[in-house]
Amino acid sequence: MVVTDEASDGHYLWVVRNEYSVMALSMLMHSKKILKKAGLGSTPKAFLNIVGRNMMQNELLRSFLEQETGLKGVCFPNLESIIPIDANNSSIPQVFIFDCKNINMKYLWTNIHEWNCSHGFQRFFMLGNAIADSAFEKKAMDSGIQGIFYNNDPLPLIAKGICTVLQGDLWYSRKAMTKCLMEAKSLADSSTHPALSRLTFKEREILACIASGYTSKAIANEFCISLHTVKTHIYNLYRKINVNNRLQASLWATKFL
């Protein structure tokens, strides 16, 4: 299970006050040691979209992430600037980070499900500057958000989270994941879901691994199969049980597997 952790240096905050912007830029170089330790040398190719009214803060974040992960990106002042969200028809995966403090969250919640279900390029949705609130975290999970960055997360942790999500995993705190899974278990339906019969034995095994927090690479090692084969199994089982990501698959498995 992917969880956030505390970096060794807690000074690299995303929430940068304007009067400290120069100081924040001078601190970016010191984070390389942390990123190297975290193993961020093989970031999958993608394009980064940061959305929020605080353009100075977001440009600093974009510059940092490009330097440390190699991801090119752009900043938008509001959600309306990127609608329709699949207008560019790009074949490159797109990462969207929505600044919770500086966008219309009601508009986001209204449209996020449609964006997750629409066809086109691969996209990853994440929230930034979030507060640790269980109801908010559950809403994000239910809406298909792949990860959350809190308002006191250090910059290297944000880079690590983006890389983790691009590799097919989730980025939530241990507390948020545990609470969500426990609630799903308590609401479990005793009846068998009809989709269960459509899963092959191998797909059930892989689904159980996903629910246990295995990464795709760990699943490949567990069953001595290629990473490509694992991804094919995951794609097929997602389609059969009608989910879009690992969190939704884990919740489904908790209820019905």
Contacts of 137 (CB under 8 A, 6+ apart): 130, 148, 172, 173, 176, 179, 180
Residue 85: per-residue pLDDT: 57
Q: Using CA atoms, how far apart are residues 220 and 226, in angstroms rounded to an integer?
A: 6
> pLDDT tens, 151-172?
889 999 999 999 999 988 889 8
Contacts of 23 (CB under 8 A, 6+ apart): none
Residue burial 198-223, b: 16+ Cβ < 10 Å; e: rest: ebeeebeebbebbbebbbbeebbeee
Q: Using CA atoms, how far apart are residues 20 and 75, in angstroms rounded to an integer?
A: 20
> pLDDT tens, 141-150?
888 899 999 9
Residue 4: per-residue pLDDT: 37
Determine contact, residues 145/165, Cβ cutoff 8 Å: no
CATH 1.10.10.10 range(s) for the chain read 188-256
Q: What backbone torsions phi and psi does residue 172 show, to the nearest 5 degrees? A: -130, 160
Residue 2: per-residue pLDDT: 37
Q: Using CA atoms, how far apart are residues 230 and 213, in angstroms rounded to an integer?
A: 15
Residue 72: per-residue pLDDT: 92
Residue 25: per-residue pLDDT: 38
* Of 178 and 60, the one with more pLDDT: 60
Least confident of 8-12, 226-230, 239-243: 8-12
- Let me know the angle formed at the C-alpha of 123 by 122 and 125, rounded to the nearest 5 degrees: 160
Q: Which CATH number fits domain 18-176: 3.40.50.620, 3.40.640.10, 1.20.120.1200, 3.40.50.2300?
A: 3.40.50.2300
Query: Per-residue pLDDT for 116 more than 80?
Result: no
Find out if CATH 1.10.10.10 is the number for domain 188-256: yes
pLDDT averaged over the chain? 78
* Of 128 and 212, the one with more pLDDT: 128
Provide the β-strand partners of residue 124: 95
* Exposure on the CB side of residue 94, measured as CA atoms within 13 A: 22
DSSP code per residue over 137-152: HHHHHHTT--EEEETT
> pLDDT tens, 25-60?
334 444 444 444 444 455 568 999 999 999 999 999
CATH 3.40.50.2300 range(s) for the chain read 18-176
Share of the chain above pLDDT 90, in %: 35
